[in-house]
Chain A
Amino acid sequence: MNDLSKARQPRAVDRIDTRPPAPASATSRAAGAPGGGPQLFEKRKAVHPQKIDGRFRRFKWLMMLITLGIYYATPWIRWDRGPYAPDQAVLIDLAHRRFYMFGIEIWPHEFYFVAGLLVMAGIGLFLVTSAVGRAWCGYSCPQTVWTDLFQHVDRFVDGDRNAQMRLAKAPWGPKKIAKRSLKWTIYLVIAFWTGGAWIMYFADAPTLVRDFWSGEAAASAYITVAILTATTFTLGGFMREQVCIYMCPWPRIQSAMMDEKSLTVTYKDWRGEPRASLKKSQAKPDLFGACIDCNQCVSVCPTGIDIREGPQVGCITCGLCIDACDRVMDEVGRPRGLIDYATLEDCDREKTGAAARPPWKALLRPRTAVYFLAWGGIGSGLLFALGTRSHLDISVAQDRNPPFMLMSDGSVRNAYTIKLRNMESRPRAMRIALEGLPSATMWTDEIGREDAARALTRTIPADRAQPLRVYVIAPPETREQDFAFSVTSLDEQAEADSSQARFNAPED
């Protein structure tokens, strides 16, 4: 119990830390290491967070419901796109190189939309972190959500914190074996469900479920599920806060992005210190602060840290210690908010006796506004590009070997491979025409030279890109010159596109 309160992580030293070090932690490492000397490797100290209720716990429940709901349910949403396209609302169709998201369909050549989304996600992280600190870590990171879920499984099977610790210490016997088997089975089921849901995003979900259980799905489906089951089982069931502390780069990046105006979970030591038991502090109220050293904030912490040691890399700012402390403060009749969301700047202000500002004021400041404008600007730019993009496209590649061909009647022939792209989910007739290059005609393998003309029509199947090899022939003595292929859709949209090309001819 007591060793939980000892610091085991370096404080985020790059943070602006205005507080004095918490008194209990100063020499814990030197004193706490068994056998005198420090260790090269440290055993993980198991965390058994205690059950708690409060506004942040309820918010976490809500977030878990939303995030897991989105994750598990999304692949099952249907979205009608007509007979030529899949009806799954969100689908990453790797085989056909399409990404569907409700009304949006992304082709590989439009991958910049995805790049734009990634940029938005990056700036979004700046925005959120500068405003509310590590809110991502506390509420919506998959590692947090699944760890939370697994910790509820622990409570369901083993009981609350004390029962869990007792069971951990207990020797292996039938009861412990039964409980552990049950718990790990539930872990495994959740982990399997997690991996199973993932693959649904990459194929038609109902079909894939049927194929998966009848053994007909692709090997990659089974391998993916196996890998994700294993990682979920290990990371959610056993690694937990070790992932946040040792593996994840976000805490480091985010600590660099926070400043003294960012909201974070803070222990108000000027109010709490020096801490003493309730009895002592009630006896001499002038000598002691508000903290009664009940260790509730430590008990409920899902990463097992002591928030009273100040901001640290292990704190995911989930706010459960706020819930715990508020409840204790209510019980002992002291004002709430000894641990609270606050900015470092507000802490300094409060220390000097000034009134605390409402937390929302931390959200509105130039830095967050600039991030929001950049984020919103990129978002609206992407939406604009998406709304105005053409659903038809032509690109031309010229045969380079041989660059031109002299025909028996002395005329000059060049060959091109035209790629016509129809991004509508219905077949479209298109008219391809020569622009420039007077008196030249063209034909294809299907049409034949005797029917060569200045323009030809071709129907491109729904949602497809098709190559078309065309031969362009110009009369003898034609010089080398530029021209263009144009394409127009023969429907009410009459979308048009064109592509420049070069006509090669003999030099003399």
Chain B
Amino acid sequence: MAIERPKKPAGKRIDEPTGTETVGHEWDGIEELDTPMPRWWLWTFYATIVFSIGYVIAYPAWPMIREGTHGVLGWTSRGELAREVARAEEEKGPLRDAISPLPIETLPSRPELMRAAVAGGRAAFKVNCVQCHGAGAAGSSGYPNLNDDEWLWGGDLRAIEVTLLNGIRQPADDATRTSLMPAFGRDGILTPARIDQVADHVLSLSGKAQGDVAGAQLFLDNCAVCHGMNGAGNREFGAPNLADAIWLFGGTKEEVVQQISTPRHGVMPAWSHRLDPVTIKMLAAYVHSLGGGEDFVEVAADPAVQVDERP
């Protein structure tokens, strides 16, 4: 492996103490010894060349005009990602199989499944729900906050699951939850002056305004059917509680007046068409876990009749 050098350039000399030749350059009296490299170093260099040839053949390496070479192994980073995602899905399989047959209200009695469901729901929420309810599920005007203890249609696990499955006011879904507040102003049911009186009464329920007897009477005649005598709401119709601190469409006088004259109605898609039942269970578990979830209370033998007792 002795690579002979043709001839000795000028300026080269043998360094006395070491007996090694210098490279022939000099910088302010500093010279460099031309110590030969060890031969195994050269071999290692050749080995890397051999390796690189193998690598170029096996893996995508060489840029061409439209795309790079593919390599005989057919490896791609996208394929690698797809394999990893598939593997992760496969690992989740047993967990999903365990959650699948369970009625959702029994989930809390299996803490390890509940934890897994909440974690899975958190991921699914980020993909499907944040667009309306926000990243922290805090909602915004017209889109309910899912962290608090106010639920329009019920806040136990099963009620949340039903809402997810069938949606709210979802057209073409027979099982969807629906209700319609009359447009008292637009449809001429109440005059603006009376709407003003009712709005004052509604705000007085939570101590935000001074109501009068006329407003109270108007409320009893027009609103109590759905919202209750004391404005506590009714979950059967998704009628909000008007006596608490939470306002879906805003709690100022103008906003309340607007909602009475020309009500807006929230619509939520029915997710049973888009998501599998296990993911919906996971989403329900996650929403329930946000801090306002209510216990499931079975009050009748007929499981179709569920009443949420807790406020």
A27 at the B interface (CB under 8 A)? yes
A82 at the B interface (CB under 8 A)? no
Interface string of A26-39 (1 = CB under 8 A from B): 11111000110111
Interface string of B103-144 (1 = CB under 8 A from A): 000000000000000000000000000000011101000000
Given the known A-B contacts A27-B14, A27-B19, A28-B19, are A410 and B37 also in contact in the complex, defined by CB atoms under 8 Å?
no
Whether A34 lies near B19 (C-beta < 8 A) is no
B5 at the A interface (CB under 8 A)? yes
- Nearest residue (CB) in B for A449 is B149
Whether A42 lies near B39 (C-beta < 8 A) is yes
Interface string of B70-109 (1 = CB under 8 A from A): 0000000000000000000000000000000000000000
Whether A246 lies near B244 (C-beta < 8 A) is no
Whether B20 lies near A409 (C-beta < 8 A) is no
A415 at the B interface (CB under 8 A)? yes
B-side contacts of A242, CB under 8 Å: 38, 40
Whether B1 lies near A408 (C-beta < 8 A) is no
- Nearest residue (CB) in A for B2 is A39
In angstroms, Cα B244 to Cα A476, docked, is 12
Whether B21 lies near A38 (C-beta < 8 A) is yes
A413 at the B interface (CB under 8 A)? yes
- Nearest residue (CB) in B for A445 is B289
In angstroms, Cα B33 to Cα A320, docked, is 30
B245 at the A interface (CB under 8 A)? yes
A220 at the B interface (CB under 8 A)? no
B-side contacts of A409, CB under 8 Å: 244-245
Given the known A-B contacts A27-B14, A29-B19, A408-B149, are A37 and B135 also in contact in the complex, defined by CB atoms under 8 Å?
no
Per the 8 Å Cβ criterion, residues 1-44 of A in contact with B are: 6-7, 9-11, 13, 17, 21, 25-30, 34-35, 37-44
Interface string of B154-195 (1 = CB under 8 A from A): 000000000000000000000000000000000000000000
B-side contacts of A100, CB under 8 Å: none
Whether A29 lies near B14 (C-beta < 8 A) is yes
Whether B33 lies near A10 (C-beta < 8 A) is yes
Whether B135 lies near A38 (C-beta < 8 A) is no
Which of A17, A38, A239, A410 has the most chain B CB atoms inside 10 A of its CB? A38
B36 at the A interface (CB under 8 A)? yes
User: What's the nearest-Cβ distance from chain B to residue A335, in Å?
Assistant: 28
Q: How large is the interface on A (under 10, 10 to 19, 20 to 34, 35 or more residues)?
A: 35 or more
Interface string of B189-218 (1 = CB under 8 A from A): 000000000000000001000000000000
B4 at the A interface (CB under 8 A)? yes
Whether A37 lies near B17 (C-beta < 8 A) is no
A-side contacts of B291, CB under 8 Å: 405, 413, 415, 471
Given the known A-B contacts A409-B245, A410-B244, A476-B245, are A30 and B147 also in contact in the complex, defined by CB atoms under 8 Å?
no
A451 at the B interface (CB under 8 A)? no
User: What's the nearest-Cβ distance from chain B to residue A27, in Å?
Assistant: 6
Whether A406 lies near B246 (C-beta < 8 A) is yes
A407 at the B interface (CB under 8 A)? yes
Whether B17 lies near A405 (C-beta < 8 A) is no
In angstroms, Cα B147 to Cα A415, docked, is 10
Whether A40 lies near B3 (C-beta < 8 A) is yes
Whether B35 lies near A405 (C-beta < 8 A) is no
Whether B245 lies near A408 (C-beta < 8 A) is yes
State the A residues within 8 Å of B (CB): 6-7, 9-11, 13, 17, 21, 25-30, 34-35, 37-44, 239, 242, 246, 399-402, 405-410, 413, 415, 445, 448-449, 471, 476
Other A-B pairs, 7, CB within 8 Å; known A17-B17, A38-B21, A41-B3: A26-B17, A30-B21, A37-B4, A44-B40, A400-B136, A408-B148, A410-B244
State the B residues within 8 Å of A (CB): 1-5, 7-8, 14, 16-21, 33-42, 134-136, 138, 145, 147-150, 206, 241, 244-246, 289, 291, 295, 311
